[in-house]
C-alpha cells in the first residue's frame, strides 16, 4: 500500500512553488522529505493532505483522495502541522482526546493516555495546554495525532502518520522518543511521512529519503544514496563532509572543518 502524489504543481500568488512533483511513500517505511528552506517540503505535504490547492493526483492506499469524504480520510491518516495554536483553554488530555473523535476509530477511551505515555507526557494530562513549553505542546499534538490513527493497520489497511517537522522544537532525548515512535509505527505496518530538518536524524531513522530543491525532487533513495557530499553540496550550497558509522554504514554529517576554522579565527 502506498501514498502517491503524481504531477503535483502548486502556484501561490505568482510563484510556482511546486512544479510537476511525483512522490511515493510505502506503508511499513519511514519516508523523510528533506531539502533547503523554501524548497517546497511543507507545500508538498500540504498538497498531499489537501490543505493547499494543487494540480495533480494524490492516491492513498490506492484510492484517489479527491473521491474520499473528510471522515474517510481522517480514519486512515492523521496530520501534524508544523505548529498548532489552540485558542481555548483546554487541558492536555482534552486536546489529545480530540484525536479520538477525528479518527472515528473504535473510540477506545484508553488510547489518549497511552498516546501521552508514548510521548512521555502522561503526568501532564491535567495541565493546561497554554502553559506548556513549545516542545511540550509539540509532543501533545503528536499524541493527539497518534490517537487518531492509533492502530497502524486496521482490517489489513495501513494508516498513515503525516508529520511536518515533528522534532523541530525537541531536545535530543525527545527527538529520539518521537523518531522511535515513528519507526515503531512503520515496523507495525503503518505509513510515516515526515518533513525533516535534521539530516543526521533522517539518516538514523528514515528508510527512504526524498530530497527537494526549488519546487522539484532532486533525488530519492536510501539515506546512504541521498545523503552524499556531492548531493548535499549541490542542494544546500555548502560543503559538509559525510561519514558513515560502521557496521550499519549510516551516513552522518559532522561539519568539523568549519568548527575548527571558527575556533582558530576567534
Q: Say if residues 9 and 20 touch (Cβ distance below 8 Å).
A: yes
Residue 187, CA atoms < 13 Å, CB-side half-sphere = 7
- Interatomic CA distance for residues 69 and 237, integer angstroms: 42
Question: How many C-beta atoms lie closer than 10 Å to residue 91's C-beta?
Answer: 17
Site for ligand ADP in 19-38 (CB under 6 A): 35, 37-38
Q: Which stretch binds ligand ADP (CB under 6 A): 13-21, 22-30, 124-132, 186-194?
A: 13-21
Residue with cell 542542494: 235
- Interatomic CA distance for residues 1 and 26, integer angstroms: 6
Least distance in angstroms from the C-beta of 116 to ligand ADP: 28
Task: Indicate which single residue of 42, 49, 147, 175 sits in contact with ligand ADP (rule: CB under 6 A).
Answer: 42
- Interatomic CA distance for residues 170 and 188, integer angstroms: 25
Q: Which is nearer to ligand ADP, 41 or 139 (CB)?
A: 41
Task: Indicate which single residue of 23, 27, 29, 39 sits in contact with ligand ADP (rule: CB under 6 A).
Answer: 39
DSSP 128: B
Task: Indicate which single residue of 12, 53, 106, 172 sits in contact with ligand ADP (rule: CB under 6 A).
Answer: 12
Least distance in angstroms from the C-beta of 38 to ligand ADP: 4
Is residue 13 close enough to count as binding ligand ADP by CB under 6 A? yes
Least distance in angstroms from the C-beta of 27 to ligand ADP: 24
Is residue 148 close enough to count as binding ligand ADP by CB under 6 A? no
Q: Which is nearer to ligand ADP, 14 or 264 (CB)?
A: 14
Is residue 126 close enough to count as binding ligand ADP by CB under 6 A? no
Task: Indicate which single residue of 1, 5, 32, 41 sits in contact with ligand ADP (rule: CB under 6 A).
Answer: 41
- Interatomic CA distance for residues 15 and 10, integer angstroms: 8
Q: Which is nearer to ligand ADP, 90 or 236 (CB)?
A: 236
- Interatomic CA distance for residues 185 and 35, integer angstroms: 24
Please, which residues have CB within 8 angstroms of residue 69's CB and are 6 or more apart in sequence?
none
Q: Does 247 sit behind a cis peptide bond, omega within 30 degrees of 0 on the bond before it?
A: yes
Q: Say if residues 164 and 42 touch (Cβ distance below 8 Å).
A: yes
Least distance in angstroms from the C-beta of 212 to ligand ADP: 6
**Largest interatomic CA distance in the chain:** 61
Is residue 235 close enough to count as binding ligand ADP by CB under 6 A? no
Q: Which is nearer to ligand ADP, 42 or 105 (CB)?
A: 42
Q: Which stretch binds ligand ADP (CB under 6 A): 40-48, 92-100, 229-237, 239-247?
A: 40-48
Residue with cell 527512504: 208
What residues make contact with ligand ADP under the rule CB under 6 A?
12-13, 15, 17, 35, 37-43
Amino acid at each position: 500500500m502506498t501514498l502517491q502524489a503524481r504531477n503535483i504543481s502548486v502556484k501561490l500568488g505568482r510563484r510556482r512553488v511546486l512544479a510537476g512533483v511525483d512522490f511515493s511513500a510505502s506503508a511499513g517505511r519511514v519516508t523523510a522529505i528533506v531539502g533547503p528552506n523554501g524548497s517546497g517540503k511543507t507545500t508538498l505535504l500540504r498538497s498531499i493532505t489537501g490543505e493547499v490547492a494543487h494540480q495533480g493526483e494524490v492516491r492513498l492506499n490506492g484510492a484517489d483522495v479527491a473521491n474520499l469524504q473528510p471522515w474517510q480520510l481522517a480514519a486512515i491518516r492523521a496530520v501534524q502541522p508544523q505548529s498548532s495554536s489552540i485558542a481555548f483553554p483546554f487541558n492536555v488530555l482534552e486536546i489529545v482526546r480530540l484525536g479520538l473523535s477525528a479518527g472515528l476509530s473504535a473510540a477506545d477511551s484508553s488510547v489518549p493516555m497511552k498516546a501521552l505515555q508514548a510521548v512521555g507526557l502522561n503526568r501532564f494530562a491535567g495541565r493546561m495546554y497554554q502553559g506548556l513549553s513549545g516542545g511540550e505542546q509539540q509532543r501533545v499534538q503528536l499524541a493527539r495525532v497518534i490517537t487518531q490513527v492509533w492502530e497502524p493497520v486496521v482490517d489489513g489497511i495501513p494508516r498513515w502518520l503525516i508529520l511536518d517537522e515533528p522534532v523541530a522544537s525537541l531536545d535530543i532525548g525527545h527527538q529520539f522518543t518521537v523518531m522511535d515512535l515513528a519507526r515503531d509505527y512503520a515496523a507495525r505496518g503503518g505509513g510515516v511521512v515526515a518533513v525533516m530538518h535534521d539530516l543526521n536524524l533522517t539518516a538514523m531513522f528514515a528508510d527512504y529519503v526524498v530530497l527537494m530543491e526549488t519546487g522539484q525532487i532532486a533525488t530519492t533513495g536510501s539515506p546512504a544514496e541521498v545523503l552524499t557530499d556531492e548531493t548535499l553540496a549541490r542542494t544546500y550550497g555548502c560543503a559538509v563532509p559525510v561519514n558513515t558509522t560502521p557496521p550499519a554504514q549510516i551516513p552522518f554529517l559532522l561539519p568539523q572543518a568549519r568548527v575548527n576554522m571558527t575556533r582558530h579565527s576567534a
